[in-house]
Amino acid sequence: MLPDTELYLRGAHYMIHLIAKCLLTFLMVVGATGAKAAVPEYLIGRGMTDITGPAFGIQMWGFGREDQLTEGLHIRQRARAFIIAEPDNGKRLVFVSADIGSIEHNITLEVLDRLQAQYGELYTLENVVLSATHTHAGVGGHWHTRVALGLAGAFYPERFERIVEGVVDAIGAAHNDLQPGNILINKGDVEGAGENRSMAAYEQNPAEERARYPGPMDKEMTLLSFVGSDGPVGMVNWFAVHPTSMTYDNKLISGDHKGYASLAFEKAMGVRYESKDDFVAAFAQSTPGDITPNLNLDNTGPGRDDFESTAIIGARQLAVARGLFETAEEPLSGPIDYRQVYVDLSELDVSDEFTGDGTKTTCPSAYGYSFAGGSTEDGGGHFLFREGMTESRFYLDFLIGFLTGAPEPTPDVIDCQSPKPILFETGTGTPPLQSQIRSIGLVRIGQLAILTVPAEVTTMAARRLKETVRANLGDWASHIVIAGYVNGYAGYATTPEEYLVQQYEGGHTLHGRWTLPAYRQTAARLARALETGGQIATTTVYDDWRGKAPETALHDGSADAVAEGAEFGDALPLVQLSFNPGDVVLVEFRSGNPTADHAALSTFVEIQRQEEGDWAKVASDGDWETKIRWRQGEEQGELIAQVTWEAPENITPGRYRVRHFGQSTMATGGQKPFEGVSPSFQVGQ
């Protein structure tokens, strides 16, 4: 285990003591001065649920590789929800950070339908913000695909349902948790947690503009601390860095570095993931379009492997978040308000105010050659393509059409998307191969404004968006955050200058060169409406795809096999029965396919210590130190679950054992739960 990682996980009691001390000091100060923060400003609530995906045999989201199929679990995926409300039945806001790659807008629609079935019109598209952390180590299959291309993957209704149900439950828990409280805001820089992976594009921005900023990466973290009547109840922060420390070679489910940081923060606050009163720590995503955590800029680093790199980048965010949380003093104060609008980016006129080059029009969505080339700093792509391709190749166009059956782009789309050579076009047709309707919003919590976009925004593009929002709001807006991957997914947003050189980000800017100006124009409309109290008139509606996408079953129903004379849950013999702190314990069990009913089990693994003749849980598969990986056994259809546990350096010496929980699929098609227990073993003297 890394020394700094171990320090964070061992420091729970110290951190709780320090937080309590700082909070008590703060409350004593504001009480003595009569500051407004001494009186609860808002109602606050938090909730958290497990939304872990199917752990075996399903394509992972993010890298678009058909061979990257899940083999197991490292840390669980969770949905973390917060509700902030004005007292006396005033306005309220929902913010959810989910450990998944993207929020498809159909998820948002389904969540809203279920919330409104329970709470009426209390929660709407305007005041519900669903954000993805954008982990590339989660499971796909939750998009309502309209095309059979391998890139899109399959649509699994069970996966969609698990995410929707989990998000709704997290929001419901936050709703039931509403209590008087205050929100403190703090900001600080995170060093060594990312690098700009697309300098060739960033340097196309005007030199005088670049000179206004300290560098090609926004290092600022903005953090909110939620304080109830009995003390801290939650924390959320926004910081921009891609969750790609877990590379395309990884096949274990993980929340990547943001999942690591959330887990470590919550563990330090005593969370055991067994109570609705758990402290909730969300490391939410912002605008990491061109920011990689792979500090060697070659899909590696700063650690020796994916796991160490994830821990290092997560620990650096964690350290800053802890400091900001402990020292936060400025209370948010003022109204809650929000505006939201749908825009059709297939053909949106954008004025000279935002293009600087007369009125321009966005394009029907299309992916460029450079999209297929991938970001070399985060893993690269197909060998036939590379970043920076700005001219079409006849043989590539022919090959793409032959292999995918994708229609040729029209001359109008080719001209509109120039200089992007089009890999495949998805924005025309009836219906188009992907929705062209995007949801954009702006919310206010006191002196904080949060712009919500469905895109991956590059560093300079984010700076321009913030300037646009700031220019159209009053002096009250002293803090501005952009929350990315919200209520949909629309690819990237680069500056027009960055778009011209067609690095990966430009090739994945779906609506052409004027995509960012379109977002800025929309953000200005939202800000003006929020500032004046006006509404935004629009006739654009989303093309709901629920019930229309081809559905694929997660599991084919085939029965699990077990060796003759053996039973599911049997532990294979241990090679070693005595371990030292820091050693890796390995135990294997005869198991079943966990994907057959992936929502049925919230735990696959428990590590237990013998205490006074009984066994007490000390860790589970939700902890960083554990991993579970399924492999094929010797028999046809047989699966072996391999559990590894890194015994902490500060472990209490004693007898330990491993329990494995699973379900086997029977010949009848049903599932039967089973448990397995390893022989006990000694750790420490």
Write out 108-145 in H/E/C secondary structure: HHHHHHHHHHHHHHHCCCCCEEEEECCCCCCECCCCCC
Asked if residue 583 and residue 486 are part of one domain, the reply reads: no
Cis peptide, bond prior to residue 673, ω within 30 of zero: no
112 and 248 share one domain: yes
- Tell whether 22 is covered by a domain: yes
| Confidence band, pLDDT 50/70/90 cuts, at residue 233 | very high
Q: Which has the higher per-residue pLDDT, 27 or 607?
A: 607
CATH number at residue 646: 2.60.40.2300
At a CB cut-off of 8 Å and minimum separation 6, what does 172 contact? 47, 118
The pLDDT confidence band at residue 23, using thresholds 50, 70 and 90, is very low
| pLDDT at residue number 26 | 42
Whether the predicted pLDDT of 367 surpasses 80: yes
Q: What share of the chain is helix, strand, coil (3-state, %, to 5)?
A: 25, 25, 45
Last residue of a domain, one of 492, 525, 556: 492
Q: Quick one: 167 and 292 in the same domain?
A: yes
pLDDT of residue 7: 33
Using CA atoms, how far apart are residues 576 and 573, in angstroms rounded to an integer? 9
Report the alpha-carbon distance of residue 131 to residue 115 in Å, rounded: 17
Residue 317 lies in a domain: yes
Same domain, 488 and 616: no
Specify the pLDDT at position 401. Answer: 75
pLDDT of 19 strictly over 70: no
Cα(479)–Cα(86) distance, integer angstroms: 19
* Same-domain pairing of 484 and 612: no
Q: Would residue 636 count as lying in a domain?
A: yes
Q: What is the pLDDT of residues 154-199, one digit of tens each?
A: 999 999 999 999 999 999 999 999 999 999 999 999 999 999 999 9
User: How many domains does one find in the chain?
Assistant: 2
> How much is the pLDDT for 20?
43
The tokens describing 3, both together, are: 């020394």
Residues 301 and 160 placed together within one structural domain of the fold: yes
Task: Say which range, 2-11, 342-351, 579-588, has the weakest mean pLDDT.
Answer: 2-11
Q: Is residue 467 part of a domain?
A: no
Task: Using a pLDDT cut of 70, give the percent of the chain over it.
Answer: 93
Asked whether the predicted pLDDT for residue 601 surpasses 90, the reply is no
The helix (run of H) or strand (run of E) holding residue 395 is helix 394-404
Residues 521 and 26: their CA atoms lie apart, in Å, by: 41
Mean pLDDT within 432-447 = 97
CA gap 352, 340 in Å, rounded: 23
137, 252: one domain: yes
pLDDT at 549: 93
Tell me the pLDDT tens digit for each residue of 448-481: 999 999 999 999 999 999 999 999 999 999 999 9
Both 482 and 605 in a single domain? no
Which pLDDT value is given to residue 12?
40
Domain end among 492, 526, 559: 492
Query: Is the pLDDT at 683 greater than 50, yes or no?
Result: yes
Residue 65 located in a structural domain: yes
Q: Is residue 487 part of a domain?
A: yes
* Rounded Cα gap, residues 505 and 378, in angstroms: 12
Query: Is residue 167 domain-shared with residue 293, that is, in the same domain?
Result: yes
Q: Per residue in 556-596, pLDDT tens?
A: 999 999 999 999 999 999 999 999 999 999 999 999 999 99
- Report pLDDT for 366: 96
Cis amide bond preceding 302, omega within 30: yes
Q: How confident is the model at residue 403 (pLDDT cuts 50, 70, 90)?
A: low
* Residue that wins the pLDDT comparison between 18 and 618: 618
**pLDDT over 90, % of the chain:** 85
- Average pLDDT (34-47) is 77
pLDDT in tens, 637-680: 899 999 999 999 999 999 999 999 999 999 998 999 999 999 99
pLDDT computed for residue 438 by the predictor = 98
pLDDT at residue 37 tops 70: no
Average the pLDDT over each of 83-97, 397-411, 432-446 and give the range with the smallest value: 397-411
pTM attached to this predicted model:
0.93
What mean pLDDT is predicted for residues 24-48? Answer: 61
* Res. 400: pLDDT tops 80: no
My answer on whether 25 and 152 are in the same domain is yes
Cα–Cα distances in angstroms (integers) from residue 628 to residues 6, 339, 506, in the given order: 21, 44, 38
pLDDT at 382: 84
Please name which of 546, 564, 589 lies closest in space to residue 160, comparing C-alpha atoms: 546
What's the rounded mean pLDDT across residues 625-633? 97
Domain assignment of residue 553, yes or no: no
Q: State the pLDDT at residue 24.
A: 38
Tell me the average pLDDT of the chain: 92
Cβ burial of 38 (10 Å; 0-12, 13-18, 19+) is: middle
DSSP-assigned letters across all residues of 126-193: TTEEEEE---SSSB---S---S--TTT----HHHHHHHHHHHHHHHHHHHHT-EEEEEEEEEEE--SS
Residues 157 and 298 in one domain: yes
Decide if 281 is inside a domain. yes
pLDDT in tens, 473-512: 999 999 999 999 999 999 999 999 999 999 999 999 999 9
- Residue 31's pLDDT band (boundaries 50, 70, 90)? very low
The parent domain of residue 677 ranges over 578-683
Gap between the terminal Cα atoms of the chain: 20
Q: What's residue 405's pLDDT?
A: 67
